[in-house]
């Protein structure tokens, strides 16, 4: 659906994005993740044709966004970071204007506007002037504008920025439901949001692609080692030394358990090789010493951890620079 190749954009000497290559498949919800200034907006602006790339190509449905701009723009609905609203207009007249710009035939215009209004949930404010609307409703009007004419692709730049928690939840739900009919690319710097909504995540930092995977795959693949938290009823130092001897265990650290159980129980954080599942041998070892395991769980690295690792540690970032789908 969208095919980005070796995309580079420089602003004078400053670098916007450098050699980005990725594809977005039909029906996917792709999340663009990165710290502020990483190049998310720049990439989206190039795909939508607002900016021209310094080098590299973007193809939408086989059409080049630069050569066949009129063709590709018709397929894309775009919500920029600041919703592009004419504040002196009413919601309906604004949507009327946008539908004319998008070249929706006169006979279908009303139906298209009604559909967008309904999808974005703004039927109650349709006749109000945009400058009188709250931030959340403006965002929805912006979204309705992007939805007009049912474009195959939606590009949403920070769709939940500046909204209150309830509005954020509503907009997320809306995007998820839109994902059934559209291919969506959205950007965010909020990690749980991306892992909740998106089927695939691209992490970019300093204009470069750092990683690309499903949200869960990303945290699994990038943690490098597994971690197990285990709570055992038994003498702390002896338990720890037995666990340390098990094959596949890299290190063991003793953590302080809850005060009321401190006498009898020990909480261990066990770091293991990814390839070896130590849970079974751990159970057997504890059982042979008659130390009951009261709790055991694997700890997945959160997307936050992955993200921080990728965007702050240069070396790790280089190691994990992998091709999409790997």
Partner 1 sequence: MRKMWSIFKREVASYFTSPMAYVMGAVFLLISGYFFSIILLATNSASLQGVLGNMAVVFLFIAPILTMRLLAEERKLGTDELLMTAPVSITSIVVGKYLAAVFTYLVYLAITLVYPAILTKYGSPDMGPIYSGYLGMLLFGAGCLAVGTFTSSLTDNQMVAGIIGFGLLLIFWVLGWSTDIVTGALGDTLTNLSLLKRFDDFQKGIIDLSSVFYYISFIFIFLFLAVRVVDSRRWSG
Instruction: Select from 56, 74, 121, 324 the one that contacts partner 1 (CB under 8 A).
Output: 74
> From the CB of 205, what's the least distance to partner 1, in Å?
19
DSSP 80-147: -SS----TTSBHHHHHHHHHHHTT--HHHHHHHHHHHHHHHT-GGGTTSBGGGS-HHHHHHHHHHHHH
Instruction: Answer whether 178's CB lies under 8 Å from 282's CB.
Output: no
Q: What angle do CA 130, 179, 56 make, to 5 degrees?
A: 90
Which of 6, 50, 162, 313 is in the footprint of partner 1 by CB under 8 A? 50
Among the residue ranges 69-77, 190-198, 242-250, 263-271, the one whose residues contact partner 1 (CB under 8 A): 69-77
Q: How far is the CB of 225 from partner 1 (least distance, A)?
A: 42
Contact 168, 12 (CB under 8 A): no
Sign, CA torsion 80/65/76/29? negative
Among 35, 80, 136, 248, binds partner 1 (CB under 8 A): 80
Strand (E) positions, the chain? 2-11, 14-24, 29-33, 55-60, 63-64, 76-79, 153-157, 183-188, 200-205, 208-213, 226-233, 249-255, 265-272, 293-298
| 283 near partner 1, rule: CB under 8 A | no
Q: Does 323 engage in binding with partner 1 (CB under 8 A)?
A: no
Q: Which is nearer to partner 1, 101 or 287 (CB)?
A: 101
Where in 201-260 is the site for partner 1 (CB under 8 A)? none
Closest CB 297 distance from partner 1, rounded Å: 47
Helical pair 215-222 and 303-312, crossing angle rounded to 10 deg = 60
Shortest spacing between CB 105 and partner 1, in angstroms: 10
The residue within the footprint of partner 1, chosen from 55, 101, 162, 325 (CB under 8 A), is 101
* Nearest-approach distance from CB 60 to partner 1, in angstroms: 12
Measured between alpha carbons, how far is 10 from 53 in angstroms, rounded to an integer? 8
Residue 234 in contact with residue 73, Cβ under 8 Å? no
CA 54: distance to chain centroid? 26
43 binding partner 1? (CB under 8 A): no
Helix, strand, coil percent values for the chain (each to nearest 5): 40, 30, 35
- Strands, E assignment, 34-86: 55-60, 63-64, 76-79
**Does residue 48 bind partner 1 (CB under 8 A)?**
yes
Listed ranges 81-89, 231-239, 241-249, 302-310: which one lies at the site for partner 1 (CB under 8 A): 81-89
> Which residues in 123-162 contact partner 1 (CB under 8 A)?
145
* Count of residues interacting with partner 1 (CB under 8 A): 32
User: How many Å apart are CA 237 and CA 235, to the nearest integer?
Assistant: 6
We find the least distance from the C-beta atom of residue 113 to partner 1, in angstroms, to be 14
Give the residue, chosen from 5, 102, 220, 250, that forms a contact with partner 1 under the rule CB under 8 A.
102
Asked if 76 is part of the footprint of partner 1 (rule: CB under 8 A), the reply reads: yes
Interface with partner 1 includes 36 (CB under 8 A)? no
Q: What angle do CA 150, 151, 156 make, to 5 degrees?
A: 110
For partner 1, which residue of 25, 67, 100, 318 counts as binding (CB under 8 A)?
100
78 is an interface residue for partner 1 by CB under 8 A: yes
Task: Give dist(CA 242, CA 84) in Å, integer.
Answer: 63
Contacting partner 1 (CB under 8 A), which of 25, 97, 123, 173?
Answer: 97
Under the rule (CB under 8 A), what is the footprint of partner 1? 9, 11, 16, 42, 45, 48-52, 69-71, 73-74, 76, 78, 80, 82, 84-89, 97-98, 100-103, 145
């Amino acid at each position: 659906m969208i095919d980005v190749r070796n995309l580079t954009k420089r602003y004078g000497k400053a670098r916007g994005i450098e050699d980005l290559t990725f594809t977005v498949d039909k029906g996917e919800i792709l999340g663009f993740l990165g710290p502020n200034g990483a190049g998310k907006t720049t990439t989206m602006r190039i795909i939508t044709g607002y900016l021209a790339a310094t080098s590299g190509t973007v193809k939408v449905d086989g059409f080049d966004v630069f050569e066949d701009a009129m063709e590709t723009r018709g397929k894309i609905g775009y919500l920029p970071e600041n919703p592009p609203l004419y504040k002196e207009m009413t919601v309906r007249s604004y949507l009327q204007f946008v539908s004319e710009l998008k070249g929706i035939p006169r006979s279908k215009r009303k139906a298209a506007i009604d559909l967008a209004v309904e999808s974005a949930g703004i039927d109650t404010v349709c006749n109000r002037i945009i400058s009188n609307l709250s931030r959340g409703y403006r965002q929805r009007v912006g979204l309705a504008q992007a939805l007009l004419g049912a474009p195959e692709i939606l590009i949403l730049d920070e769709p939940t920025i500046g909204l209150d928690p309830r509005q954020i939840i509503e907009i997320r739900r809306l995007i998820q439901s839109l994902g059934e009919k559209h291919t969506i690319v959205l950007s965010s710097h909020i990690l749980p949001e991306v892992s909740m909504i998106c089927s695939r995540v691209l992490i970019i930092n300093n204009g470069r692609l750092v990683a690309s995977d499903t949200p869960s795959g990303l945290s699994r693949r990038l943690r490098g080692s597994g971690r197990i938290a285990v709570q055992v009823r038994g003498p702390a130092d002896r338990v720890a030394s037995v666990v340390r001897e098990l094959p596949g265990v890299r290190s063991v650290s003793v953590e302080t358990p809850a005060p009321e159980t401190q006498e009898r129980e020990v909480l261990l954080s066990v770091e293991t090789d990814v390839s070896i599942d130590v849970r079974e041998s751990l159970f057997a070892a504890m059982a042979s010493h008659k130390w009951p395991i009261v709790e055991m769980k694997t700890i997945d690295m959160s997307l936050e951890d992955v993200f921080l690792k990728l965007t702050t540690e240069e070396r790790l970032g280089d190691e994990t620079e992998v091709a999409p789908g790997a």
